[in-house]
Amino acid sequence: MIDIRPIAKGEGALLLPMTHVIADSHQPGSVKATAEDYERTFSSEHPIVGALLARIDGVVAGAAVWHRSFSTNAGREIMYLEDLAVLPAFRRRGVAQALMKAVAKLAVAKGYPKIYWLAMPWNTGAVQFYEGIGAQMQPENLLCWLDGPALEALAR
């Protein structure tokens, strides 16, 4: 039985294992977030970020983190799925499916016409899963970013 609920006050630390699981598959050792960061973010008075925690028998098994986004094309707020993670010990038990279903329910309830997210094409398990839930996909997007000294230099 998979139980899914929005993250509650005081549960920030429960999200960290999922953040580490995702970082381990991309850039191990890169997590800087703390439980306090999550507490502050999720209990903000006007939050832009939300998280759903999935539990099996009371134990946290996975999470989805989403944030509010905006489409200039649609002229409406839409939902960006920042993270979808299931802890290794709980895989192949329908946790990701249950989380995506809960995310979709939330989007519809909030009136968001679209959920979007990024995936890596080499993550074939994830790609098959996303195809299975009816997601559309556009390959070959270039993810660009500016941070650190490059950001500071441009801002000067």
Q: Which residues bind a copy of itself (CB under 8 A)?
A: 15, 19, 22-23, 30-34, 37-38, 41, 46, 48-49, 65, 67-77, 80, 82-83, 100-101, 104-105, 107-108, 113-121, 127, 130, 133-148, 150-155
CB-nearer residue toward a copy of itself: 7 or 56: 7
Shortest Å distance, C-beta 93 to a copy of itself: 18
- Nearer CB in complex with a copy of itself: 30/59: 30
Q: Select 93 or 114, whichever has its Cβ closest to a copy of itself.
A: 114
Compare residues 56 and 100 and give the one whose CB is closer to a copy of itself: 100
The whole-angstrom separation of Cα 103 and Cα 98 is 9
Containing H/E element for 18? helix 12-26
**What is the DSSP secondary structure assignment for residue 93, as one 8-state letter?**
S
- Which one, of 43, 84, 42, lies nearest residue 61 by Cα? 84
CB of 9 to a copy of itself, least distance (A): 17
Assigned token pair, 40: 């502050």
**Structure tokens, 2:** 């998979």
- CB of residue 131 vs a copy of itself: minimum separation in angstroms? 9
Q: Report d(CA 137, CA 111) in Å as an integer.
A: 22
State how far the Cα of 154 lies from the Cα of 156, in Å rounded to an integer: 5
Pairwise CA distance, residues 51 & 22, whole Å: 15
Q: Retrieve residue 122's tokens.
A: 């080499």
Nearer to a copy of itself, 93 or 129 (CB): 129
